[in-house]
Structure 1
């Protein structure tokens, strides 16, 4: 039961916010505040402040224009503070994180009168590591970036990459850049950026000479003293995988708010996906032996360190034997398939042949021993850096610590994949997708073993829902075909979870039109359909001022772009050429300058893009957003559904399309004053039986079907 004083505090804050902002109350927003407050305020707790019971989670689908950010902040923050709990708001996109920190939370404090201290938290991979940058510029040889696979090992840097690294160092040193990748004006390629970051196994923490100005630790510094932390789904999952409370607050003392909650399932399965290249791992193993010998020389043959390295010889030999056996098996399996042009083989229902499972069991056992021994070496180097071991020089330990951290992380990757292959899935639970891909590398062909859970339910149930104090999941799109069944099953939500679906205040019928033109081709014939899409855009785009064109694949997007005349290309901003935020910024500038601007994008532009008013009047969707037909995870899930007596297309594929299509169409109307047209260049929405279900699940746009 919600305490009367808390209820009054929330109501007063809401009234003050509306009055100070000159806004009128929204029915759906008030309903959302009440629903979240009832759920969190109704959590029972023991005398020690621990949660007692399972009715601690609520799911709220809040239509566009509800004002869900204000609703969950106003309701959750006072309740969490009163119970001495932290609030972690986790989003799926950087844009929403920035909106929360730069706009929503300051407004909440100034206009609602709530006192809340907050900070932004991102993973290490988003921050510049000065030590790594200096290391790559100073030493591109033996102690350069190490990698699991030979073709990934850093060689002599290209001149343009060296120049980029120097520029980034200069920008950071001058104060013009804060070291956050997301604040860079120009996009930087992943393979260029990745060597400039660190992880918890490579970072020397307070022992680093740059610790006091480290972008990552400066961002982390205030977390202990705040009431609310803005994070992302990946960071929450990383914390949970370490047991919870390692990066973020203890889950038992945390109220999580998952905004853009429809992403949580995919983020979770991706977080627990593993891979291993067989020949690449063999080459890495050979290089690792040479690297460890070099470390022993630098450390003066330290007796304990020497003992650790010598004891690696047996598991190394066992691991090498296991990898050789794995290579022989896969060569036999793939010889005929590769000859036919097949590049990937998926194991039906994720079930591996006994010979592969047995070999991987051996690889898992030997690689686990390697992991444990590397952990001992890391601890020894850490003690040396702290001055606890005098016979290894501190500077040498500091130099080798991150390198051994890389070795440890790579050994873990081999172990996790091998364990996934060696251990059968529990009966009655969703399977793990397992497949092998033939890959071309700079050092020749290789076989990549991969695995991924097809469902996040069990993982989230164990590590999040059972552990947390409370949680809120919200998004504009959580239902699929009008029900919460999909999200409930996918995320493993407990029985006591409450659900609320709130309508948008927008007048969709008057403000937006859904237009499906006559089309000659079907997307199932992709080349012909792409040609017709190019023809349509060639005719229509010259008459459009502000448009977002959403494609289903890179190939289709670039093929269409090539077909268009320069008069149209000059107005097009293409995903991949610039960072997403820079594309949005340039788009707005062109519109403000009374110039036409057209954005070409894929799935990431189908959500999280907020272009109100004149900035977007046309959304063109080239085809229904079905998943890739041969995606191993989707295919394994489909098989499992069928074995359970279900219909994979109806229960898996169509609901997913429904959620994606609703997200994509939601780019058009961002305020009650917006007007525009959504064009769908896919007749299946009117010609197929499932099309009616998709249409009924969309907001009630005015329909125009040619």
Structure 2
């Protein structure tokens, strides 16, 4: 329960923080969000399941709310506050602005850090030995060295020794080429804290900072990576953490992408044939009888796997399937052809044996190193080499497991497909729904979770997000929807009079004419398109009329495009941004930087990826309607995000024009309009 003293502490720090904020306006919605976060994390509603799903509209101040409520509850409960985001922009805001501000202006005494994956750090031992053995350095390059590579390594080494560089890839002033970074990157197989030469490696120092920090900022992908390993590997144990998942609407898709697997048949045969070198290296360095059996098992299993992969390759050559424009063929309901099932079963078993054998050889080498029976300079290449093969074998094992997963009437199947490209056949698989995975890894393990975003509902309901995230009705999860403080009725939403629907042949020409007529001179305009080709078509037609004012996404970097747009706006000139779906989220153009927004089409996603096609197929097989169950809820969410580009602050004004008449001619249109903020709706006649 939330104690009186904790309530008093939160209120007192609210006063301190808000007094330090220039032009701060007290908002009831923000106060309510603070109270609900604190109550949920303190176990006020459910002591065993402390989860809150909170949709908080733009302008409420989510980050202030979850830090103000989550931090004191975490400190009193002796828990870590882990804040996970989907974008680098929000991470940087938290680390460079929000958390330092709280530390300066509140009574809270806390430390914070940014958690990154191991591969963002160099290994001190690898970095320092680069200069000592140039022949070995050259041999380790996976790509051919180029002029200047050695000089760069020398600069990195000297800067590190002089204390001017921490070993963090992102803190070096210029991009480090991949071929160079791979020579010094930390890896979990050779860069072990148990080894004296690695205890001061940058990753291990960063890991120590994570353990000591009260607040840890991370991204969703790294959080999932830690949870997949069982938790407590990169981040603290889940039951020792209160998680805040900001931008939580991205979590289901990131989880699905994170869980997929693919294997190129030809490439896998090639590297499996090279696995013999592991045995050769181990036998040359490690003189123990215990290496003989795993060495033989590894070679036998690798040979078996090559034969099975050859049979799969032969099957696809002799039984050509129908490929789409992307050279993909999806297997209906995730069922792979009968002709490759036996090979997959054998591969699953042999991959397991091979993986176990390589792990044993790696462990024996580590033990010999710890016992000082072999030199580090001899052991390290083996540990790195076995590590590479272990990662590859783990990827194979993940794919075979998915492809051979038992089918269930109640659970969604996997999406499975084959790509046929220049490098041959690639088998791929992905889960359709990750709710069960999130329940197993996160919801049931964490001390508490706050999920927040400006768009978590679709069609005014949390149901779609619940299904995606694996949250159930009456499972103890709390839900909260808070509307933005903006004056939405002051914003016009115009449904344009259009003769053609987007699916009709005359729509493109009509769209060009409409956009041209609706551009506001000496104002900031943004036009959002549903496809690149349509955007380019309209841009070609309008460029003569607006030669200097038109900025089209993809023609230059996003940063340069926005800078040029803002410069014209500051000069009082006409400026027009053309963009696709990626500009409908995360684009912040307050005030005079955007006053006229046009949305050309309802943001219906065409299910053209194998995963989306498979999901639609499964819903149809269960008697459902994928258009109503997936497409419409997704379109609702994206339409809200698109409209949200116009009003970023309470003083923002302007108008939104929707150039798709289906919102008034189709049955689903009303529900899409009703799910938007209460704009002043005008339907042109």
TM-score normalized with structure 1 length: 0.84
**Aligned pair 1:425/2:377, yes or no?**
no
Distance 1:140 1:345, change over 3 A: farther
Partner in structure 1 of residue 38 of structure 2: 37
Contact 1:480/1:655, CA 8 A, preserved across alignment: yes
Structure 1: 5+ residue stretches without partners:
45-50, 146-153
Contact 1:561/1:569, CA 8 A, preserved across alignment: no
Partner in structure 2 of residue 200 of structure 1: 188
Distance 1:191 1:523, change over 3 A: farther
Distance 1:541 1:209, change over 3 A: farther
Bigger mean CA offset, 453-462 vs 174-183: 174-183
Contact 1:43/1:53, CA 8 A, preserved across alignment: no
Partner in structure 2 of residue 440 of structure 1: 422
Partner in structure 2 of residue 633 of structure 1: 611
Deviation of 1:106 (Å)? 2.1
Deviation of 1:517 (Å)? 3.8
Which residue among 306, 317, 326 is the counterpart of 1:320? 306
Partner in structure 1 of residue 27 of structure 2: 26
Contact 1:575/1:600, CA 8 A, preserved across alignment: no
Which residue among 371, 382, 396 is the counterpart of 2:355? 371
Deviation of 1:284 (Å)? 2.1
1:97-246 map, 5 Å: 97-126=91-120, 131=126, 143-145=140-142, 154=143, 156=144, 199-201=187-189, 203=191, 212=200, 214=202, 216-217=203-204, 219-246=206-233
Partner in structure 2 of residue 85 of structure 1: 79
Contact 2:549/2:576, CA 8 A, preserved across alignment: no
Deviation of 1:304 (Å)? 4.9
C-alpha separation in 2, matches of 1:162 and 1:407: 27
Deviation of 1:337 (Å)? 2.2
C-alpha separation in 1, matches of 2:522 and 2:183: 42
Partner in structure 2 of residue 274 of structure 1: 261
Deviation of 1:618 (Å)? 3.8
C-alpha separation in 2, matches of 1:585 and 1:138: 47
Which residue among 487, 493, 518 is the counterpart of 1:507? 487
Partner SS for 2:399? helix
Partner in structure 2 of residue 151 of structure 1: none
Contact 1:610/1:670, CA 8 A, preserved across alignment: yes
Bigger mean CA offset, 177-186 vs 61-70: 177-186
C-alpha separation in 2, matches of 1:476 and 1:514: 20
Partner SS for 2:216? strand
Deviation of 1:685 (Å)? 3.0
Contact 2:273/2:303, CA 8 A, preserved across alignment: no
Matched positions, count: 677
Write the deviation string for residues 401-426 of structure 1: whole angstroms up to 9, x where unpaired.
Answer: 22321111111111110111122234
1:500-649 map, 5 Å: 500-510=480-490, 512-519=491-498, 522-524=501-503, 543=521, 546-556=524-534, 565=543, 568=547, 572=551, 574-575=553-554, 577-578=556-557, 588=566, 591-592=569-570, 599-649=577-627
Distance 1:52 1:20, change over 3 A: closer
CA RMSD across the alignment: 3.8
Partner in structure 1 of residue 48 of structure 2: 53
Partner in structure 1 of residue 4 of structure 2: 4
Distance 1:171 1:503, change over 3 A: farther
Distance 1:677 1:88, change over 3 A: same
Deviation of 1:125 (Å)? 4.5
Partner in structure 1 of residue 322 of structure 2: 337
Contact 2:145/2:179, CA 8 A, preserved across alignment: no
Distance 1:111 1:135, change over 3 A: same
C-alpha separation in 2, matches of 1:519 and 1:133: 67
Distance 1:469 1:516, change over 3 A: same
Write the deviation string for residues 152-188 of structure 1: whole angstroms up to 9, x where unpaired.
Answer: xx4x367799999999889989999877666788889
Partner SS for 2:64? helix
**Aligned pair 1:394/2:376, yes or no?**
yes
C-alpha separation in 1, matches of 2:110 and 2:98: 12
C-alpha separation in 2, matches of 1:632 and 1:353: 16
C-alpha separation in 1, matches of 2:87 and 2:47: 33
Distance 1:198 1:628, change over 3 A: farther
**Aligned pair 1:658/2:636, yes or no?**
yes
TM-score normalized with structure 2 length: 0.87
Contact 2:605/2:631, CA 8 A, preserved across alignment: yes
Deviation of 1:548 (Å)? 4.3
Write the deviation string for residues 315-336 of structure 1: whole angstroms up to 9, x where unpaired.
Answer: 1121112112212222234x25
Contact 1:186/1:582, CA 8 A, preserved across alignment: no
Deviation of 1:278 (Å)? 1.3
C-alpha separation in 1, matches of 2:141 and 2:147: 16
C-alpha separation in 1, matches of 2:167 and 2:551: 30
Partner in structure 1 of residue 62 of structure 2: 68
Which residue among 341, 346, 354 is the counterpart of 1:357? 341
Write the deviation string for residues 326-349 of structure 1: whole angstroms up to 9, x where unpaired.
Answer: 12222234x2525x8672221222
Contact 1:387/1:394, CA 8 A, preserved across alignment: no
C-alpha separation in 2, matches of 1:584 and 1:116: 36
C-alpha separation in 2, matches of 1:164 and 1:600: 40
C-alpha separation in 2, matches of 1:213 and 1:89: 25
Distance 1:381 1:553, change over 3 A: farther
Partner SS for 2:65? helix
Write the deviation string for residues 616-651 of structure 1: whole angstroms up to 9, x where unpaired.
Answer: 334444433222322222222222223333221111
Bigger mean CA offset, 559-568 vs 409-418: 559-568
Partner SS for 1:238? helix
Deviation of 1:96 (Å)? 0.7
C-alpha separation in 2, matches of 1:197 and 1:546: 45
Contact 2:355/2:394, CA 8 A, preserved across alignment: yes
Contact 1:127/1:180, CA 8 A, preserved across alignment: yes
Write the deviation string for residues 470-495 of structure 1: whole angstroms up to 9, x where unpaired.
Answer: 11111100111000111112111251
Contact 1:573/1:597, CA 8 A, preserved across alignment: no
Contact 1:59/1:500, CA 8 A, preserved across alignment: yes
C-alpha separation in 1, matches of 2:656 and 2:483: 20
Deviation of 1:378 (Å)? 2.5
Contact 2:232/2:238, CA 8 A, preserved across alignment: yes
C-alpha separation in 2, matches of 1:368 and 1:681: 56
Partner SS for 1:689? coil
C-alpha separation in 2, matches of 1:179 and 1:596: 46
Deviation of 1:664 (Å)? 2.1
Distance 1:703 1:281, change over 3 A: same
